[in-house]
Amino acid sequence: MAVKIKTYIPLIVLSIVAIACLSFAEVERSDMRCTDMFIVIEKNKSHSDFITIDDVFDLLQTNRNQMIGNEIKNIDIHEIESLVEQNPMVLDCETYTTIKGELYIRIKQRTPIVRVLDGTDSYYIDEEGVKMPMSRHASARVVVASGNVSEKNIPTILSFVREIKKDELLSPMIEQIYVTNQSEYVLVSKVGPAKIDFGDADNFERKFRYIRTFYTADKVRENWQNYERISVKFNNQIVCTKK
């Protein structure tokens, strides 16, 4: 029994020392003052800067000089994160301090995937389906949705955009989705026939396969300047309209 106790003594001593060191570090840290402040805004997938360091200071209603010199214990990290995340351009905010007293605010921006033109209003929607206002700092080159756009058909538009983005052929080609008054969709292409009558959203993945089939056919590529528009509205067929 005595041998077992001796075996555990070093571990117990190490645990006590570790706890003491942590406690001392926390006490020392609580008296530490902010020595510097860094705001790091990570690039989003579109490489557009929708928020700036000045915007962050405006959200916090402070500036770098006002933060430096404050006691770390008086800086509410959770409050900073909450304020920054109120900006619709921000996906996530992480705030922390280092052992040197440096305050870091690390921000992830949202990535827009579609721009909606809704009458006189214009806004982005990001990868998670969250609405983003236009930015005064930058713009993103994304698919535009226009026409009879409403809250009801936004999910369908997002499904279309995600399907387009994952396709190497369609992604650089399709630049606009137009919603008609009959709730049908028309895709606008940069190359080949300018208009693609998509019809309704039923079986949309199959309709996109039809579009790929059309644009990858050798005979079509040789003569697509002769076509004004194509239609995949009807089952199991592609209808072409010549100029």
In a domain, 65, yes or no: yes
Domain boundary pick from 64, 87, 109: 109
Do residues 72 and 149 both lie within one domain? no
Task: Identify the domain containing residue 42 by its residue range.
Answer: 36-109
Query: pLDDT grade, residue 219 (50/70/90)?
Result: confident
Q: Which residue has the tokens 């697509």?
A: 224
pLDDT per residue over 121-142, tens digit each?
899 999 999 999 998 888 888 9
pLDDT score, position 29: 53
CA separation for the pair 182, 199 (Å, rounded): 9
pLDDT score, position 47: 75
Do residues 147 and 224 both lie within one domain? yes
CATH for 191: 3.40.50.11690
CA distances from 155 to 127, 145, 151, 160 (A): 11, 12, 8, 9
CA separation for the pair 110, 193 (Å, rounded): 33
Do residues 151 and 77 both lie within one domain? no
Separation of first and last alpha carbons in the chain: 97
Average model confidence (pLDDT) for the chain?
84
In a domain, 137, yes or no: no
In a domain, 53, yes or no: yes
Helix (H, G, I), strand (E, B) or coil at 81: helix
pLDDT per residue over 188-218, tens digit each?
998 878 899 999 999 999 999 989 888 888 7
Domain boundary pick from 84, 109, 134: 109
pLDDT per residue over 25-77, tens digit each?
444 455 799 999 999 999 888 777 889 999 999 999 888 888 899 899 988 99
Do residues 105 and 147 both lie within one domain? no
Give how many domains the chain has, as a whole number: 2
CATH for 50: 3.10.20.310
Domain boundary pick from 64, 89, 109: 109
Do residues 54 and 101 both lie within one domain? yes
Do residues 99 and 151 both lie within one domain? no
pLDDT score, position 10: 54
Q: Which residue has the tokens 């920054």?
A: 84
CA separation for the pair 36, 38 (Å, rounded): 7
